[in-house]
Structure 1
Amino acid sequence: MRPSTIDTNQRPFVLVWELTQACELACKHCRAEAQPQRHPDELTTEEGKRLLEEANEFGENQLVVLSGGDPLYRDDTFDLIEYGVEQGLQMTLTPSGTASLTPDRIQALADSGLRRLALSIDGATPDAHDGFRKEAGSFRQTVEAARAANEAGLPLQINTTVCAETVEQLPQLRELVADLDAVLWSVFFLVPVGRGQVLDPVPPERADRVMEWLTAVNSAADFGIKTTEAPHYRRVAIQQRRSATDKPDSDAIGRRTGITAGDGFAFVSHTGEMYPSGFLPKPAGNVRTDSLVDLYRDSPLFEELRDPDALKGKCGACEFRNVCGGSRSRAYATTGDPLESDPLCPYVPEGYDGPLPEQSPAD
């Protein structure tokens, strides 16, 4: 099925299930504020299998991302991947870059039918990455895991956080992404939630310059690029008369750009809470008691987030709201209202004279 035929009112492009918040790392930006111990109320294996069965009700080839914490902290992760594949789901995984991610485990992931392995690299050198991740050796272990994924024939995605601490390293990271033969570079613009509240974001004007650079990289690189929590990447690309979807099918999953929290994206927490995104922790319900499909399609929160005319401030007045819409997660984190303007975007629509995000009474 072509991504352009999917109605995001009926199904998400991406469904993320946070298997656990347990993790060996203590990364500076961690949304989950991960810790070494697993939560006693995590979804059980059987509850997880029911969740995967429900995910299949969205339609064929539903993309499911198993995340954490470190999803490999659970001893049933391989069984869940195999069960999801049996259900007809496209299963992907975002493990932590630790010593536990051995070549044998990566080969076993490939053998289980996993479609994509996503690894995070936030610094172009061991010192920079390990300092950000607060774990000596994490850079080496992550690069070794990336090489092992290549050896196993497992498509590789690299995730990178963009904030004041990492932005200068993006050109070097671009070279590393190419060297690791990644199929996709997912560039995440910091949202101040969890431990990320202590980090400094890039200023809005700098964010736009980064996105201009990313559009140029996207046109020239052999790998695809997507931004996370920065949908105005599409506005920047349109203004540059380039397409932010130059290579929509190059990442082997068929993901297209244009998804935002609650509109093409959904998140299930380790305890079953259903959120529009892990970075927008406002629950619509719980999959233990409510239908996953119904929560996505019919909950008032999700319906509102899919209505560009419900947006407020300059995002609501913007002519790009149907292709961008701003980060609803960042709006929620900074104002408490997921429909307010995204403070990372510097663009002001022509003729707009209302309040700007930094002038909001909630700031």
Structure 2
Amino acid sequence: MPRPAGIGSVKPVNWAYDRAPMIIYWELTTACALACRHCRATAQPEPAPGELSTSEALALLDDITRFGTPAPHVIMTGGDPMRRGDLDELIRGANDRGLGVSLAPAVTPLLSKQRMAEMKALNVQAMSLSLDGSVAEHHDGVRQVPGTFDATLAALAQANEVGIPVQINTLITDQTVHDLDAMYELLTHYEIMQWSLFFLISVGRGAQLTEMSPGDAERTLIEWGQRAHDAPFRIKTTEAMQYRRITAQRLLRAGKTREEIENSKASRGFGIRDGNGIVFVSHLGEVMPSGFLPTSVGNVRERSLVELYRDTELMKALRRPEEFKGSCGVCEFNRWCGGSRARAAAWTGDPLESDPLCPYVPRSMRGHDRREPSLV
């Protein structure tokens, strides 16, 4: 999603977001007209009982301001946030409190050009759209609703016309990775600010799909890291934090120092991961490290989001990468990367375990006969 104010600035040396998250993903509802095969929320046609009321939602916005300055950026997601009848009121409420807002809507008839223009007028800073294939057969097969591919491209063109910056999210699985070249070519014909390659986490409906192997994922990340230099838009990853390690390795081999890397634009996003710079609030008010790490640390109906993020044991543990288990705990890149805590939890049941998608062997774990020159 979009880059909130300050995200591109120089990060603190410890890369820990103890005071406040950079981004709050707020699931306004699980109601959605789509039935995507990888849906984290297991969205449904109608709103679920117990969603935060308008007054509770506005109270949550009040609470978010207690994080201080700079304030987190709020991404209103779902389900489909367009299904909330009070969406405009919540956006205005965030603006009145000095909070930046972006949207992650579903592509349905509710996402009309007029509605996007209204979102622009409400000062929505950016919007994300999901595009999971270069042709209708691929995309609609994931989204489970015929015509969604054409509707998504139409929505992207309309967003360009009304002037809302767009991030495109693309699901990466063993079955979809071969379409990335064609996807890239397609996206070069539109104006987008960022292309996010989302490496599948097997939660929700996503458990029905197949993640890439570590070796294939590494090769994919290396390739697109190299191609990102010439891309007309920024390329980032979601739940593939080793992309940062690969970037750092490339820069170190080119002669950059650690300090130069940390102070460069290449470090944008370094350190951010589930529970460290990111927090998720569900439609019921449950607070989790991320939507892909659905372990609740409490509910905003009972306790301040600020306290739940700063003080609960799981959240604090997720901000101490040197105490992670296995290779992630001893990796010389763990402050910059830290691995996917959501994938570790999905595969092992322990969010502090090593990320099973990363094949990198840390320097301290290599045998003497296999030791490579130090990169850091």
CA distance in 2, matches of 1:229, 1:187: 9
- Whether 1:168 aligns to 2:178 is yes
Alpha-carbon distance between aligned partners in 1 of 2:37 and 2:121, rounded to the nearest angstrom:
33
For residues 119-198 of structure 1, the aligned pairs below 5 Å read: 119-198=129-208
- Bigger RCO (CA 8 Å, 6+ sep): 2
Match of 1:44 among 49, 53, 59: 53
Q: How far apart are the structure 2 equivalents of 1:83 and 1:132?
A: 34
* Corresponding position: 1:342 with 2:350: no
Aligned partner (choices 33, 55, 58) of residue 24 of structure 1: 33
The residue number in structure 1 matching 2:317 is: 304
State the alpha-carbon separation in 2 of the partners of residues 136 and 172 from structure 1: 20
> How far has the Cα of 1:25 moved from its partner?
0.7
- Equivalent position of 2:6 in the other structure: 2
Contact 2:26 2:76 in 1 (8 A): yes
Structure 1: unaligned runs, 5 residues or longer? 250-254, 355-363
- 1:50-89 equivalences under 5 Å are 50-58=59-67, 59-89=69-99
C-alpha distance after superposition, 1:154-213 (max 9, x if no partner): 111101111012101111212223322100111111100001111011111111111112
* 1:256 Cα offset (Å): 3.3
Supply the distance in 2 between the matched residues of 1:248 and 1:149 (Cα, whole angstroms).
28
Q: 2:246 aligns with which of 220, 236, 239?
A: 236
Identity of aligned residues (%): 45
CA contact (8 A) 1:238 1:244 kept: no
User: Secondary structure at the residue paired with 2:159?
Assistant: helix
More displaced 10-residue stretch of structure 1: 169-178 or 39-48 = 169-178
Secondary structure in 1 matching 2:363: coil
- Give, in whole Å, the separation in 1 of the partners of 2:306 and 2:115: 32
Name the amino acid aligned to 1:322. Answer: R
**Contact 1:226–1:257 (8 Å) recurs in 2:** no
Give the Cα–Cα distance (whole angstroms) in 2 for the partners of residues 61 and 223 of structure 1.
26
Q: 1:99 deviation in Å?
A: 2.1
Match of 1:118 in 2: 128
Q: Please name the residue that 2:44 is paired with.
A: 35
CA contact (8 A) 1:215 1:244 kept: no
Q: Helix, strand or coil for the counterpart of 2:365?
A: coil
Letter in 2 for 1:183: M
- Contact 2:271/2:335, CA 8 A, preserved across alignment: no
Alpha-carbon separation, structure 1, partners of 2:149 and 2:265: 28
- Give TM-score, length-normalised by structure 1: 0.92
Amino acid at match of 2:57: G
Closer, same or farther in 2 for the Cα pair 1:247/1:319, shift >3 Å?
Answer: closer
Deviation per CA, 1:241-266: give whole Å up to 9, x if none. 277997569xxxxx734310000000
Quick check: 131-140 or 2-11, which moved more? 2-11
Q: Separation in 2 of the partners of 1:162 and 1:244?
A: 28
Aligned equivalent of 1:285:
298
Q: Secondary structure at the match of 2:188?
A: helix
Q: CA deviation at 1:106?
A: 0.7
Gaps of 5+ in 2: 255-260, 368-376
Conserved? CA contact 2:330–2:364, under 8 Å: no
1:259-284, Cα deviation, whole Å (9 max, x unpaired): 10000000000000000000001111
Tell me the distance in 2 between the aligned counterparts of 1:112 and 1:222.
28
Cross-structure match for 1:316? 329
Amino acid at match of 2:192: A
Distance in 2 between the 1:297 and 1:334 partners?
Answer: 26
Query: Which amino acid is the alignment partner of residue 95 of structure 1?
Result: P
- Alignment check: 8 A CA contact 1:274 1:285 kept: yes
- Letter of the aligned partner of 1:277 in structure 2? S
The alpha carbon displacement at 1:28 in A equals: 0.8
C-alpha distance 245-270 of structure 1, shift in aligned 2 (>3 A)? farther
Q: What is the identity, as a one-letter code, of the residue corresponding to 1:143?
A: L
- Where 2:327 maps in the other structure, the secondary structure is helix
Tell me if structure 2 keeps the 8 A contact 1:224–1:247.
no
Cα displacement string for residues 294-349 of structure 1 (whole angstroms, at most 9, x for unaligned residues): 11111111000000122001111211111111100000011110000111001112
Question: Does residue 95 in structure 1 map to residue 105 in structure 2?
Answer: yes
- Identify the residue that residue 214 of structure 2 maps to in structure 1: 204
* Alignment size in residue pairs: 349
Change (3 A) 1:245 1:143: farther
Q: Write the letter of the residue equivalent to 1:19.
A: L
C-alpha distance 293-307 of structure 1, shift in aligned 2 (>3 A): same
